[in-house]
Amino acid sequence: MKFKAFHKLSYGLYIIATELYGKKFGYIGNTAFQVTSTPSQIIISSHKNNFTTSKILESKKFSISVLQKEVNTALIGVFGFMSGADIDKFNNIETTASVTGAPIITDSCVAWFDCRVVNSFDVGSHILILGEVIESDVISGEEPLTYDYYREKYKMLAPKNAPTYVDKTRLESETVPEPVVKTETEVKPEPEKASEDLSSYTCKICGFQYNPEEGDPALGIPPGTPFADLPDDYRCPICNAGKEYFGKND
């Protein structure tokens, strides 16, 4: 069996959230899919160790906020790589609510669903939670983020609690056909700065890769900025770790 075949399944990325006794909980998930249209029902797959899972089962409600392609990566760091048991993920995050009261994230999101839990199914490591959509809306004309784009852009693997998690060494041992690259428009490479080290660096906490050729325009870091030239207070856009947590790639 080749695990890379699973990467050919198309997914989006969402913030799944709930509210219980006035507190908000949420995580980033790629598994949210519509299972019926009348009534409109969506299933999510949520890890049993995920702090939010038990809160959804108890509150019997959840929201799905659909992330946009050019996402504020701080959201992924907070909701994807930190636990609600350790921090309040919603600190400084703007939310709204609809019928159930589950928090809906407005930053970097294109649409949302407000759901009431109608059933759940134990599938081993995860629980499938079936929700009836009570309300939904489209809030932006931006393109939604796909899991494939996220993997390509950030060179990241799924966190351990994701249903799609596969061990990195297992993936690296698999040989599959290279992606087909279309060359309709020639992309001109940035002029190289001969004397500067343009090695990429990887965050040891979450696996984010800083690529000097791309820089980080969202943070005002232009393409061609070597890792050494990043400001001292530079932080990983995914998990917020400092520069000292980055290691040079071979």
Q: CB nearer to Fe ion: give 64 or 238.
A: 238
238 binds Fe ion (CB under 5 A): yes
Sequence-distant (6+) residues with CB within 8 A of 174 are 2, 3, 4
67 binds Fe ion (CB under 5 A): no
CA 189, 195, 200 angle in degrees (round to 5)?
Answer: 60
Could you tell me the smallest distance in angstroms from the CB atom of residue 63 to Fe ion? 26
Q: Please state, in angstroms and as integers, the Cα–Cα distance from residue 226 to each residue in 12, 205, 231, 242, following that order.
A: 31, 20, 11, 16
75 binds Fe ion (CB under 5 A): no
241 binds Fe ion (CB under 5 A): yes
Only segment of 93-101, 131-139, 177-185, 239-247 that touches Fe ion (CB under 5 A): 239-247
28 binds Fe ion (CB under 5 A): no
Q: Which amino acid is present at 53?
A: T
Q: CB nearer to Fe ion: give 159 or 224.
A: 159
d(CA 139, CA 114): 14
Question: How buried is 79 (Cβ within 10 angstroms: 0-12 exposed, 13-18 middle, 19+ buried)?
Answer: buried
d(CA 181, CA 197): 27
- Residue 152: name the closest of 120, 181, 195 by CA: 181
Q: CB nearer to Fe ion: give 134 or 241.
A: 241
Could you tell me the smallest distance in angstroms from the CB atom of residue 237 to Fe ion? 8
Q: Across the beta sheet with 209-210, what order do the strands follow?
A: 209-210, 201-203, 246-248
97 binds Fe ion (CB under 5 A): no
82 binds Fe ion (CB under 5 A): no
Could you tell me the smallest distance in angstroms from the CB atom of residue 136 to Fe ion? 32
156 binds Fe ion (CB under 5 A): no
Q: CB nearer to Fe ion: give 133 or 241.
A: 241
Sequence-distant (6+) residues with CB within 8 A of 91 are none
Q: Which of residues 193-212 bind Fe ion (CB under 5 A)?
A: 203, 205-206, 208
Long-range contact pairs involving 234-237 (C-beta distance under 8 Å, separation at least 24): 236/77, 236/203, 236/205, 236/206, 236/208, 237/73, 237/74, 237/77, 237/208
76 binds Fe ion (CB under 5 A): no
44 binds Fe ion (CB under 5 A): no
Q: CB nearer to Fe ion: give 13 or 238.
A: 238
Could you tell me the smallest distance in angstroms from the CB atom of residue 89 to Fe ion? 16
At 200, give phi and psi (nearest 5°). Answer: -85, 155
105 binds Fe ion (CB under 5 A): no
236 binds Fe ion (CB under 5 A): yes
Which residues here bind Fe ion, judged by CB under 5 A? 203, 205-206, 208, 236, 238-239, 241
